[in-house]
Amino acid sequence: MKAESASETPAPGKKTVTRRAREDTIASLDKVHLTDGSVQYGKVMEMGGNTVSLQYRGAAKRILKADVEKILFYEGRRSHQKLDTDLVVLKVNEHRVPCKILKESGGEIRVELATGNKAT
């Protein structure tokens, strides 16, 4: 009888999971810290109403916001939301103003604000 070692390749159609792969998977998920001290891992899909929708391995669960202490989002997550406006940062107070840039010349920018008003 031949002894099997962990370094052998698995039979076709079979997968092996290492402990390191699992750690990498959990490290790339959002962490929802609950008020009872436990932590739920997954991808936060929605935070509407009074619940947080969390997806993990294809299954979704809803957690009451009242039970959530904090949420730490995975830093590698990229926003897939496309902005349909430009963003101007004011020098005076560093406010970010969503708008549409109409004309740019030298130090002045002519913009149209979300309200429809135009400003320079």
Has residue 35 got a pLDDT over 80?
yes
Has residue 17 got a pLDDT over 60?
no
- The CA distance from 17 to 28, in Å, is 17
- Please, which pLDDT band fits residue 78 given cuts at 50, 70 and 90? low
- CA distances to 49, 78, 100, 103, 118 from 93, rounded to whole Å, are 33, 27, 20, 22, 20
- Write down the domain spans for the chain: 19-72, 86-119
Strand partners, 56: 59
- The CA distance from 67 to 33, in Å, is 9
User: How high is the mean pLDDT of the chain?
Assistant: 76
Record the pTM.
Answer: 0.46
Give the right CATH number for 19-72 from 3.40.50.2020, 3.40.50.720, 2.30.30.100, 3.40.50.10470: 2.30.30.100
82-115 core/surface letters (b: 16 or more CB in 10 A; e: else): eeeeeebeeeeeeeeeebeeeeeeeeeeebeeee
- CA distances to 27, 70, 80, 85 from 36, rounded to whole Å, are 22, 12, 32, 41
